[in-house]
Structure 1
Amino acid sequence: MTPHRRRTTLSALASTTLLVALAPAATAAPSPDAVIAEVYGGGGNAGATLTSDFIELSSPTAVSLDGWSVQYLPAAPSPTSRWQVTKLAGSIPAGKRYLIAQAKGPGGTVALPTPDATGTTNLSGTAGTVALVNSDQPLTCLTAADCAAVPAIRDLVGFGAATVREGAPAPAASNTSSVARKADTDDNAADFTAGDPTPENTKGERPGGGDPGPAPEKARIHQIQGTTRLSPLAGKQVIDVPGVVTGVRAFGSSRGFWFQDAQPDSDPRTSEGLFVFTGTTTPAVKVGDSVLVAGKVAEFYPLASGETVANTANQSVTQLTGAQWTVQSSGNTVPAAEVLKPDTVPVPIAPSPGGNIEGLALEPAKYALDFYESREGMRLRVDDARVVGPTDGFNALWVTSKPGQNPTARGGSNYQSYADANTGRIKIESLIPFAERPFPIANVGDKLTGTTEGPLDYSRFGGYVLQASALGQHVAGPLAPETTRKQREHELATATYNVENLSPKDDQAKFDRLAGAVVRNLAAPDIVALEEIQDDNGSTNDSVVSAEQTLRRFTDAVVAAGGPRYEWRQINPVDDADGGQPGGNIRVAFLFNPQRVSFVDRPGGDSVTPVAVHQEWGRAKLSASPARIAPADPAWQSSRKPLVGEFRFPAQGPLQRSVFVVANHFNSKGGDQPLHGRIQPPVRSSETQRLAQAKLVRGFVDSLLKADRNANLVVLGDLNDYVFSPAVQSLLDPKALVAPMNQLPVGERYSYVFEGNSQTLDHILVGNRLQKRANLDVVHINSEFHDQASDHDPQVVRFLPRTGIDWIDDLEQFLYGLLP
């Protein structure tokens, strides 16, 4: 899981008490087993609920305490200060607590549960030092440095303003708060937090006669993982879980390690790998360490902002929290990684019961998501993998284990239907420190040659992730940005380009790159429909709705790049009514080259007035130009309204033909459930609104073609849906609108790359009478590259507009068809 993006979702878990045996600091050695878990000195004081002070120990394995002691030193010892000793006996059971009662005060109302040992030391309520010693002889050290050199001290905590401590002191306690361990890094400040006292004895008893907690269970990893997506031991404490460490995440707020059982069972449904979550604490284990782990089994759901476990569609990660472990040996051979070959992962993505699949028994030989779930936390490997999703801003990329699965012409994986999700795709992140091995900066079609391997994780950003402990060698491919041909004199070139929230707040480099692409890569089309044009102060949320500065700066950049002086037409939206980035007042706009086309300006078009189609002398005519389609209809709530314009080509002369262009930006797919989620098939909730929007646009198309069946019509833009989707399919009709993209080879039908899937969200559709005259080119300059000016690729259609007189149109097509 990408650490940056998981930070907020793990903030609550980061405060969970984690009793972890970690690496030694420079000045001390950690306890290999027993540690001080909690210290409370406010018992019986004013405002306290508990009547007694206490010290609590814990250990991941059973430890005899015969002959041991806990000892207390004041926070600011003088040369004559002496350690106060409480002798111990008995043992700490594995995964349990050991409670030591200390002095009792006059206040408080709740007694401790029956202690496992009793002393008379009067602990300070705010500051002091407690040491766990494997001897009952009083300590003599009075400084942190001297105490760090005493081998008998197994653990030590200085809290408040304590002079003797490990690292910086733990927080101060109080009459109502203790200090409790969350880790063991030999830095008391990092290892302890202040909170409510929680005394518990070896029987699991708590204050007030609380019932003992359930006894911890010995378990192996495959028993914890189980045969479904949810652990049968979720919520239970487990101990003595064996395995070999296979990967360590040492950065971010979701740190921890993976370990894998070297003695797997025979059930293909049960994973042999597991993640141990340590929050913001780096676990002091190394790959190859043989460990015994104790902790609480939990299902972690990576959540988006506003989501809850109840309503998320994401799958969970089975993990251990509040963990303790012991390293039994180091340098062991890690279990071999399973190689993902072209036929390893099934093609069907998941069972489709029409709901939650978590309770279904896994079928790893039948479904891709079941296959990956049955390997959760285990080591997987891909060899000589082709990149199908470029490196993103979070140091992740996508490769495929199925190079022959729906390949695009440029090395990607083409998403062709809901039934074929390209299950060879897998996300790659890295556990290798970037200072040691920078993450590959890769484009689609590049390769990671050799071996890429590591434990399998899960993230809400793309699903299953291979956390690489070894990365293949990055080999760049031949991919280069495309350039389309210049339109011929008789051809009208019309393009669509989503410029990704363009506003004057963007630096000049973005304007220059986008404008340069229009001039050089798109060969300066005659008409350009731009999506995601923001108002003149971008994301500043005020009453500004004009985009004059945005469009002027863009068209100036086109001229500076050697292009024509475009004019523009657009309609300012009602403030904050069209969705997109808050304050941005996103909209679509037309650019046009007045040397090649003219715009028919008809008054009456505004943000709330719907366009109508009239017939005049057997030809279609708009009631207003530019104008909007049904802007008050609920289908456009919080969404961009289509912009309709009437153009004439060529710009002057007796042979002018009318051309009607509809620029669109349908509502986003935000809120749709992911392909990799626990709900199958995924619910595409945003589709309902796009379907309604498509029906309104189709209604306009039908009215236009009813007025003039020969009308030159182009419907284009970011429709935010696939060519096979219900929304786009509802626009298409052999007697109305057709998709020139369907005439392209299958491997060239895409304009966007998401999670390793090359897909089509941007479209240019033309009236059916233009089908044989239209030539479409998707110009790949962004989506396949790690360095992008926009996340969309533009596309352009070139055609000879019809005159409406059939014999002239047929003759023109014949003559121009013979020209080079």
Structure 2
Amino acid sequence: MSRNLRASMAVGAVAVVIAAIAAVPNAQAAGSADVVISEVYGGGGNSGATLKNDFIELHNNGSAPVVLDGWSVQYISATPGAGTVWQSTPLSGTLAPGGTYLVAEAAGTGGTADLPTPQATGAINLSGTNGTVALVSSTTLLTCRTAADCAADATVHDLVGYGTAVIHEGGADAPAASNTTSVARGADNADTDQNGADFTAGAPTPGVAGPGGSGSPSPSSSATASPSASPSDSPAPTSGPLRIHDIQGSGWVSPQSGKTVSNVPGVVTALRTSGTKGFWIQDPNPDDNPATSEGLFVYTGSAPTVAVGDSVLVSGKVSDYYPLGSGESASTTSNLSVTELGSATTTVLSNGNALPAPIVLSAADVPADYAPDLGGGNIESTPVTPSRSTLDFYESIEGMRVEVDDARVVGPSDKYGEQYVTVRPDQAVTYRGGTQLLGENQVPSGLLEVVPANGANPGVDVGDEFQGATVGPLDYSMYGGYLVAASTLGTVVHHHLAPVAAQPGSAKELSVATYNVENLAPSDPDAKYARLAAGVVTNLASPDVIAVEEIQDNSGATDDGTVAADQTLAKLTAAIQAAGGPAYQYREIDPVNDRDGGQPGGNIRTVFLFNPARVSFVDRGDAGVDRSTTATQVVKEHGEAQVTLSPGRIDPANPVWNSSRKPLVGEFEFRGQQVFVIADHFNSKGGDQNQFGRFQFPDQTSTVQRSGQAQVEHDFVQKLLAADKKANVVVVGDLNDYQFSPALASLTTGTADGSGPRILTDLITTLPVDQRYTYVYDGISQVLDHILVSPGIEDYRYQVVHVNSEYSDQASDHDPQVVQFRP
């Protein structure tokens, strides 16, 4: 990618450069009397080239030897932008009078002839047509990006701009080069500080290594001999035939996957010192293909020994690493891969090199669609097309340095220090600053995970900001898609998002709430119970009835056959009372051991808490009945609907409830009025394909079971209404699905497309669109929890109480909600 993006970033800087050139026509005050750049060739290894490598050649025009230790040759592109940096190759040795000095640079994949033995070797990929080369009496990278600034830099000993380079000496550039031509001085290597006059284009003629170059000249050396290394020196390593973009390729999987590659050049941009240890490298000389990334992760397995800014050559085996979930393989996973080098060996060429400028991510650059609709097909079978989708765009810059400025947090920090921001701040904004899911497969394209490389946890909440620049290589995680491994994190600005507090109902209103308390067990710390209790009392205003999901048994996740949860419930109700709430009583049905899904051994279930001072629970049915396996039935008694078991379960033997919680039905009486509450926790989305993965749109296999569960429950509610059309029915709980899903359509209308008669109203749909969420997952505000009411309940007040999901400090991962009405 990114070549086009970089070009757009450079436009403003180019205008400044051109203005500076007009003011200063001559980049050097006087010609060099000794060492000059005598020839430049950037077509090595390109199509039609004979030579495999680019090269720069120096010549000593003086009468005395020149020591080159601590010098360098440096290169910058023809039209440098504000973020463009010079690249450097260090020099050493002594250049004899009349001698030549050959610097080998990057190799291409073509060519048939090696260069003569060079005196220095670098990894600069010179342009074959246009660019600027400087001979510098220092190894410090130049910072000048105009002819005037370079002329003012005393360390610039000589300079040549060729083709259309904006930095050059004199009134014109040297001629453009090509894959078969270099630019070279005349036979006498004269330097008049006029690149246009001093250089001509012709066949490349790299010097032949000879005595007198890197050491003291020998008596037998001739005036035209080139420098050479002393016999004890080992040849400097040279770049291999492949560059990073060749390894990344224009597809989703590397064309070199499974192959061993040698001496891949790059600059170390970041280190990973925990987890899968390694480092990222990036080629500062991109190709012209927007689909090929210039970044690459190098897996070391132990703490990397390189440093950021090292110019390196890396050899190793190319692989496409797929992060795998339990029971997955590379062939079955829905995750995308990360191209990397493993079993790596690294040669450090130089230190302290400037890093390639990061690609700034913004709404103008990131596509509007997160993923293309391929009918469930594998995106890896299509070419990477950066303009098509966010997935394509990010694949095209995988491993490269990126930057996000003034990023708003849309998903809070978790315990691993991971959080989510948006690069499209105006996209699907919730009323509290998150980013919302507005439809099936409509993942917000601005979503981006941020993980600090140093392992710090910034503790941010939704609506907070990383002010300034957040910078690091772009990586991929199976849990949240693409992410910035942030070596630089913007300044954290907390906006202290206030928790929501529900408006209390009147004495004549019944209040019914739902709250998923996330695997609550007796072993959980008292602090969690206290937080949950405060949420019930302060934020939910002590509802009359609460359907609580994910109450675990007395032994928690220990799979020891325990199914009773009385200790869990005693601890919860005591905590609520200690927080100033009512003395809640409860009703529940112990599940059959290990039959209701959830955390293994936990035996999670739904439970009714109720305030006996406000509402009565109507117990029905023989106490000896096994309510875990016996279905409650709807009957009509004295002109009104009743259930045979209260508490009871809806059709628990139906296969739709396999490895899932069975709905809990309770009959309540409030101010002489009968109210049925059904507490739910439908099966989870576990097993669905990754929404950030390679199959688009992803297959959501869990939808079938939830839709079946919804249909069974719809039919039960329909029986209640058939027995009493004015029956007060409230359906609550964690339905694990969206308000626009087929499951909710089946629950409310009995048809997956919503075309049937509506017997339940999903109250989340009555809120303004930007308030429709109960849960924040992977930075996406979405609906999983619901309260639905039958047609007889018309005068109600409904509130979602945001106290958890938007915060890094959570008592649960779900937000509760409450409805108040007069039966």
TM-score (norm 2): 0.69
CA distances 1:497-523 after superposition (whole Å, capped 9, x unpaired): 001111211122211211121111100
Local SS of the residue matching 2:347: strand
- Please give the per-residue CA displacement for 1:498-551, whole angstroms capped at 9, x wherever unaligned: 011112111222112111211111000000000011112212222321111211
Counterpart CA distance in 2 for 1:407 and 1:423 is 12
Q: 1:595 aligns with which of 600, 613, 619?
A: 613
Determine the C-alpha separation between the residues in 2 that align with 1:695 and 1:477: 43
| CA distance, structure 2, for counterparts of residue 575 and residue 392 of structure 1 | 31
Q: Does 1:795 align with 2:809?
A: no
Q: Specify whether residues 326 and 563 from structure 1 end up closer, same or farther in structure 2 by C-alpha distance, changes over 3 A only.
A: same
* Equivalent in the alignment of 1:243: 266
DSSP 3-state at the match of 2:388? coil
The corresponding residue for 1:509 is: 527
For structure 1, which segment, 690-699 or 534-543, has the greater mean C-alpha deviation from structure 2 after superposition?
A: 534-543
Aligned to 1:386: 408
Report what 1:767 is aligned to: 790
- The question of whether the paired residues in 1 share the 8 Å contact of 2:787 and 2:819 is answered with yes
Query: What does residue 284 of structure 1 align with?
Result: 305
Residues 1:257 and 2:263 aligned together: no
Paired residue type of 2:320: E
Q: Would you identify which runs of 4 or more consecutive aligned residues in structure 1 move more than 4 Å? A: none
Alignment partner of 2:632 out of 611, 622, 625: 611
2:311/2:349 contact within 8 Å kept: yes
Q: Contact 1:217/1:237 (CA < 8 Å) preserved in 2? A: no
Task: Show the counterpart of 1:579.
Answer: 597
Match of 1:221 in 2: 244
Contact 2:416 2:457 in 1 (8 A): no
Is the contact made by 1:347 and 1:420 (CA closer than 8 Å) also made in structure 2? no
1:660 aligns with 2:676: yes
Q: Which residue of 2 aligns with 1:403?
A: 425
State the alpha-carbon separation in 1 of the partners of residues 281 and 571 from structure 2: 55
> Which amino acid is 1:493 matched to?
S
In the alignment, the residues of structure 2 paired with residue 723 and residue 445 of structure 1 have an alpha-carbon distance, to the nearest angstrom, of 24
Distance 2:349 2:578 in 1: 68
| Mapped contact 1:718–1:762 kept (Cα < 8 A) | yes
Q: Distance in 2 between matches of 1:725 and 1:520?
A: 32
Q: CA deviation at 1:153?
A: 14
Q: How does 1:769-784 map to 2 (within 5 A)?
A: 769-770=792-793, 772-784=794-806
Bigger mean CA deviation after superposition, 539-548 or 461-470: 539-548
What whole-Å deviation, never above 9, does each CA across 1:728-777 have from its counterpart, x for those lacking one?
1211236300112111111111111111001111100111232x312110
Q: CA RMSD in A?
A: 1.7
Equivalents in 2 of 1:220, 1:735: separation in Å? 61
How high is the TM-score relative to the length of structure 1? 0.69
Aligned residue for 2:792, secondary structure, equals helix
CA distance 1:329–1:396, change in 2 (3 Å): same
Equivalent residue, structure 1, for 2:509: 491
CA 1:580–1:419: 2 relative to 1, 3 Å: closer
Tell me by how many angstroms 1:717 deviates: 0.2
Secondary structure of 1:370's aligned partner: helix
- SS at structure 2 position matched to 1:692: helix
2:669 aligns with 648
- Write the distance in 1 (CA, Å) between the matches of 2:476 and 2:592: 41
Displacement of 1:388: 0.5
Residues 750-809 of structure 1: CA deviation (Å, up to 9, x unaligned): 111111001111100111232x312110000000000111111000011111xxxxxxxx
Counterpart of 2:747 in structure 1 is: 731
Measure, in 1, the Cα distance between the counterparts of 2:659 and 2:741.
22
TM-superposition CA deviations, 1:193-245 (whole Å, max 9, x none): xxxxxxxxxxxxxxxxxxxxxxx972011111111100111111212311111
Q: How does 1:321-332 map to 2 (within 5 A)?
A: 321-332=342-353
What CA distance in whole angstroms lies between the structure 1 residues aligned with 2:316 and 2:597?
A: 46
Q: Partner letter of residue 564 of structure 1? A: P
Amino acid at match of 2:675: V
CA distance in 2, matches of 1:442, 1:634: 42
Q: Secondary structure at the match of 1:218?
A: coil
1:1-39 deviation per Cα after TM superposition (whole angstroms, max 9, x unaligned)? xxxxxxxxxxxxxxxxxxxxxxxxxxxxxxxxxxxxxxx
| Residue 528 in structure 1 maps to residue 546 in structure 2 | yes
- Answer yes or no: is 1:362 the counterpart of 2:380: no
Quick one: which amino acid aligns to residue 530 of structure 2? D
Number of the residue aligned with 1:320: 341
Check whether the contact 1:740–1:774 (CA below 8 A) recurs between aligned residues: no
Q: Is the 8 A contact 2:386 2:393 kept in 1?
A: yes
Report SS of the residue matched to 2:381.
Answer: coil
Which residue identity lines up with residue 679 of structure 1 in the other structure?
A: F
Task: In structure 1, list runs of 5 or more residues that go unmatched.
Answer: 1-93, 95-151, 155-215, 651-655, 802-820
Inter-CA distance 793–782: structure 2 relative to 1 (3 Å threshold): same
Distance 1:439 1:556, change over 3 A: closer
The letter of the residue matching 1:238 is: V
Does residue 495 of structure 2 align to residue 477 of structure 1?
yes
Q: What corresponds to 2:776 in structure 1?
A: 753
| Equivalent of 2:330 in 280, 290, 309 | 309
CA contact (8 A) 1:300 1:316 kept: yes
What is the identity, as a one-letter code, of the residue corresponding to 1:470? Answer: T
C-alpha distance after superposition, 1:662-721 (max 9, x if no partner): 000011111111111111111111111111111111110111111111111100100011
The correspondence for 2:442, drawn from 420, 429, 439, is 420
Counterpart of 1:429, as a letter, is: V
Q: Partners in 2 of 1:311 and 1:665 — Cα distance? A: 29
> C-alpha separation between the residues in 1 aligned to 2:295 and 2:425?
27
Instruction: Find the aligned partners of 1:544 and 1:261 in 2 and give their Cα distance.
Output: 59
